[in-house]
Amino acid sequence: MRLSSFVNFISESILLGFKAGAALSIASLQFPKLFGVPGGGNNFFERLSVTIQQLSSAQGTVIVVGIGSLALLICGEHLFPGRPVALVVVIISTAIVSVFGLAEHGVRVVGFIPPGLPAIRLPSFQTQHIDSLVELAFACFLLSYVESIAAARAFASKHRYTVDPRQELLGLGAANLMAALGHGYPVAGGLSQSAVNEKAGARTPLSLIFASMALVLVLFFLTGMLRNLPESVLAGIVLVAVAGFVKIDDFRRLRQISRLEFNVALVAFVGVLLLGILKGVAISAIASILFLLRMMANPHVSVLGRIPGSARFSDAGRHTSNERFPGLFLFRIEAPLLYFNVDTVSSTVLDAIHKERVAVRMTVCDLSTSPYIDAAGARMLQHLEEELEREGIQFKVAEAHAEVREILRATGISESLGGVSRHTSLADIVEDFERDSRNTLTHPIHEG
């Protein structure tokens, strides 16, 4: 079904907000484990509030283990970068809990882990369950794929490599098919797991092979040793790993570059915190589309002038040194001409023409920055030509792309515009206008 194209709606700005929001959301899930309290709440703010209220009931031993392990992890990252600090902290903390029996003093541990691998067999379900399973499976697809591809693209951007969304989807599908044979949970790529993997020094996909081999060995031989592994240590490892994804400077830089992109990132950030990863990313993608539609609904219409010493034209409002031509009005629409922006463009052009100091004799529309027009856009050009003709102003179109020319011809509007040709440039029209103006001045028409 080629649903991998869904990720095309997840921009870099959404990823920036997603990473920060997901990191804080993951952190709010780890704080209760770090301090040994029950936790609760449906979003970041609720979970944080509940955890703070429960801190008064936390035991001192649990807090010491949690904060101590977190301090060791942070110091180890700075003093021994690239070393397996987390593994050392896991070994030390497990040993301390086992020797001093801290599990009996409120320190939560992993507990019993069934040894060995699960039995491989086909899952069983009945036909009446298919409808509910399909709905649930689609929800799992959206959640797992969005989070997986967002995490993959976040690391790809950081380490400067590319991600193939279709290959990622195929990989996730294959992994879930195999997990089903072992009666496992739906699997996906995650930001926290990937961050821990990166912190451990992983640089290539081969790290997953070694991680899987190590996991198999642990399941067969070491599950008993992990019984006393404190949950607070695992929480500390995740907290240290995801801390690097909250980058205030990136938000500040994006705000300076583009307020639109900054707003999209902010929607993604707040959406993930309030609604969770799937809904947060989905809402930010919708918001991104709405922001773009709003921008395209009010496109910039440039009044053009010739760049001195050249045959090129640019916005005369921004470049006051550009050459203007009395009686000739040149404008460029810096967006596609679509049904929801044609009225704005038409009124903007007519208002600008009426404000010209010298009466306009010819108006030229430069379509070089309009890659597409729909039927409403073509009709708008025709209505503009008719309106200007009633005012005695000639109207022409120049620099139209091939697809735009085909649409104008198919709608029959090209003929009313005097033909739209790829051979006639804006510079040619201006040159003809200047020549006609000189001839009129040289050979004035006298009334007899």
Domain boundaries, the chain: 3-118+130-292, 301-442
pLDDT of residue 225: 84
**One-letter amino acid of 170:** L
pLDDT of residue 443: 58
pLDDT of residue 447: 46
- Give me the phi and psi of 319, to 5 degrees please: -125, 90
Q: 7: pLDDT confidence band, cut at 50, 70 and 90?
A: low
Q: How far apart are CA 295 and CA 288, in angstroms?
A: 11
Looking up tokens 């920055």 gives 369
What single DSSP character describes residue 204? S
pLDDT of residue 302: 94
Q: How far apart are CA 174 and CA 181, in angstroms?
A: 11
pLDDT of residue 442: 62
Six-digit token string for 384: 């503009």
Show the DSSP H helices in 80-183 as ranges: 85-100, 130-159, 165-181
Q: 444: pLDDT confidence band, cut at 50, 70 and 90?
A: low
Q: What is the mean pLDDT of residues 333-360?
A: 93
pLDDT of residue 135: 66
- Give me the phi and psi of 62, to 5 degrees please: -65, -45
pLDDT of residue 279: 78
Residues 88-97: contacts with CB under 8 Å, at least 24 apart:
89/233, 89/236, 89/237, 90/229, 90/233, 90/237, 93/65, 93/69, 93/229, 93/230, 93/233, 94/225, 94/226, 94/228, 94/229, 94/230, 94/233, 96/65, 97/65, 97/228, 97/229, 97/230
Q: How far apart are CA 315 and CA 58, in angstroms?
A: 65
Q: 134: pLDDT confidence band, cut at 50, 70 and 90?
A: confident
Q: 72: pLDDT confidence band, cut at 50, 70 and 90?
A: very high
Q: 448: pLDDT confidence band, cut at 50, 70 and 90?
A: very low
309 within 8 A of 293, measured Cβ to Cβ: no
Helix (H, G, I), strand (E, B) or coil at 208: helix
Q: How far apart are CA 143 and CA 149, in angstroms?
A: 10
Q: pLDDT digit string (tens) for 247-289?
A: 889 899 999 998 888 988 898 899 889 888 767 877 877 888 8
pTM strictly above 0.85: no
Q: 306: pLDDT confidence band, cut at 50, 70 and 90?
A: very high
Q: What is the mean pLDDT of residues 24-37?
A: 90
Q: pLDDT digit string (tens) for 351-395?
A: 999 999 999 999 999 999 999 999 999 999 999 999 999 999 999
Q: pLDDT digit string (tens) for 8-18?
A: 777 778 878 88
Q: Which of 288-297, 312-321, 417-426 is predicted with the least confidence, judged by mean pLDDT? A: 417-426
**Alpha-carbon torsion angle 211, 212, 213, 218, nearest 10:** 90
Q: 149: pLDDT confidence band, cut at 50, 70 and 90?
A: confident
Half-sphere exposure of 206 (CA within 13 A, CB side): 3
pLDDT of residue 362: 94
pLDDT of residue 347: 94
Highest-scoring range by mean pLDDT, 290-294, 330-334, 406-410 = 330-334
CATH of 301-442, one of 3.30.1180.10, 3.40.50.1220, 3.30.750.24, 3.20.20.70: 3.30.750.24
pLDDT of residue 441: 61
DSSP states along 325-383:
BTTEEEEEE-S-B-TTTHHHHHHHHHHHHHT-SSPPSEEEEE-TT---B-HHHHHHHHH
What single DSSP character describes residue 397? E
Q: pLDDT digit string (tens) for 392-437?
A: 999 999 999 999 999 988 888 888 777 788 777 899 999 989 888 8
The sign one gets for the Cα dihedral 47, 48, 54, 59 is: positive
Looking up tokens 């283990």 gives 65
CA gyration radius for the chain? 32
Q: How far apart are CA 232 and CA 89, in angstroms?
A: 11
pLDDT of residue 349: 95
pLDDT of residue 14: 81
**One-letter amino acid of 392:** G
